[in-house]
Chain A
Amino acid sequence: KQEVTQIPAALSVPEGENLVLNCSFTDSAIYNLQWFRQDPGKGLTSLLLIQSSQREQTSGRLNASLDKSSGRSTLYIAASQPGDSATYLCAVTMNRDDKIIFGKGTRLHILP
């Protein structure tokens, strides 16, 4: 059974710092991996999606990497801003039309 683990569970950093969120998964035979953002009272927003054949994806200040063989992914946020405060969820799918399997998330707080 696939399990997704995220470390740390919570993180507080001063504004302007670069930071890394970590994700690991137990079954490396994934179809794709996504990073989502969740704000209180709102739905999930997909930030980056990495197909199993890819190594990384970038969007603005965000960069996600995937090491499928070792079952790891990282989300790098450059020059953090208070507006980046949210919960970040790592998630995988195992097949083309499969459900998403989520980690528990990392609660990020950027200090102004």
Chain B
Amino acid sequence: GAGVSQTPSNKVTEKGKYVELRCDPISGHTALYWYRQSLGQGPEFLIYFQGTGAADDSGLPNDRFFAVRPEGSVSTLKIQRTERGDSAVYLCASSYRPEGSQYFGPGTRLTVL
């Protein structure tokens, strides 16, 4: 069956611009996670959704970052006024239930010039 998909696969933007990154979880998965992986580092947690609500957003670095999951399926990570330090691979994962195994998408590579 289809895995977690993320679009776009690559995004290049200029400093100060707004970007949206999309995640399509595995059908039926209620839990959805966003992580950010900088070069040479392991992924770092950003936010976790259970259904439509953000159950834990403690990893969001500042108020320029926001994520939504309005219908409990697709999620969008939104970054305002992008900075060069936001350049990273943004990974999405989903699981059937919160304590279940997380399945990761291929990621979106964001480059802020």
A104 touches B40 (CB 8 A): yes
Instruction: List the A side residues contacting B3 at CB < 8 Å.
Output: 43
Contact call B106/A99, Cβ cutoff below 8 A: no
Q: Does B91 contact A (CB under 8 A)?
A: yes
Task: Tell me the complex Cα distance, A96–B101, Å.
Answer: 11
**Chain B residues within 8 Å of A100, by CB:** 33, 35, 43, 45, 102
Q: Is the CB of B104 within 8 A of A44?
A: yes
| Given known A43-B91, A46-B101, A49-B101, contact A104–B42 (CB-CB < 8 A) | yes
B56, CB-defined interface residue at 8 Å:
yes
Any chain B CB within 8 A of the CB of A112? no
A43 engages B104 (CB within 8 Å) = yes
A57-112: which residues lie under 8 A (CB-CB) from chain B? 89, 91, 96-105
CB-based contact A102/B42 at 8 Å = yes
Range, interface on chain B = 20 to 34
Instruction: Name the CB-closest residue of A to B47.
Output: A99
Q: Which of A45, A46, A97, A105 contacts B31 (CB 8 A)?
A: A97
* B21 at interface, CB cutoff 8 A: no
Residues 25-84 of B contacting A (Cβ, < 8 Å): 31, 33, 35, 40-45, 48, 50, 55-56, 59
B4 at the interface (CB under 8 A from A): yes
Asked whether A97 and B104 contact (CB < 8 A) given A43-B4, A104-B41, the answer is: no
A99 touches B59 (CB 8 A): yes
Give A88 Cβ to nearest chain B Cβ, in Å.
11
Query: Which A residue sits closest to B98, measured CB to CB?
Result: A97
Complex contact B44–A102 (CB within 8 A): yes
Shortest CB-to-CB span from B31 to chain A, Å, is 7
Interface residues of A (CB under 8 A from B): 4, 41-46, 49, 89, 91, 96-105
Among all A-B residue pairs, the 5 with the closest Cβ atoms: A97-B98, A102-B42, A43-B104, A99-B45, A44-B104
